[in-house]
Structure 1
């Protein structure tokens, strides 16, 4: 889940910046769960590594820690061409659904 206190500190408590970052996040990563699952199913470890790495970076700036830790595990495994643990993949997919909904709700309330 997003830690809004951490997010606000990273974004200098600027609502316009937060809204812009969230909008960009949805444009770029709203389908992150689908990408993770697709790459995992296809055993495409290089693309799974890149997707996990990208999501890990942006979610870290959101103050998220649980899904980030699982993304780090996926990144570590796939960097070495090893299949990540399925429970890590499933946890990330569920976590991303919650995060996406938080972002959507935030943007809707800011309108």
Structure 2
């Protein structure tokens, strides 16, 4: 879940910057839940590592903690070319879907 207090502090409480960051996130990572699921299904650990690593950094800047923790777990296992825990995959997917809803809701309220 995005922590908007942390995000606003990080973005100097500027809604235009937040909207721009969210737009960039949606353009780059809108399908990240499906990507994580697909990479796990085909056991492409190197690409799963890259996806988890990228998402982890972005979501940490949003003040998100739970999904970031799951992505750290996925990143660590896939870096070692090992299958991540399915519970981490499922929780990350759920978290990413929830984050997309939060971002879409933010767009609706700010436009």
TM-score by length of structure 1 reads 0.99
Paired position in structure 2 for 1:52 = 52
Paired position in structure 2 for 1:27 = 27
TM-score by length of structure 2 reads 0.99
Distance 2:46 2:107 in 1: 33
1:108 deviates by 1.1
Paired position in structure 1 for 2:74 = 74
Matched, 1:3 2:7: no
Unaligned runs of 5+ in 2: none
Matched residue SS, 2:38: helix
Matched, 1:99 2:99: yes
What RMSD over aligned residues (CA atoms) do the two structures have, in Å? 0.4
Distance 1:70 1:9 in 2: 24
Matched residue SS, 1:12: coil
| Number of residue equivalences | 111
Structure 1 consecutive aligned stretches of length 4 or more whose deviation exceeds 3 Å? none
Paired position in structure 2 for 1:65 = 65
Deviations 1:65-100 (A, max 9, x none): 000000000000000100000000000000011100
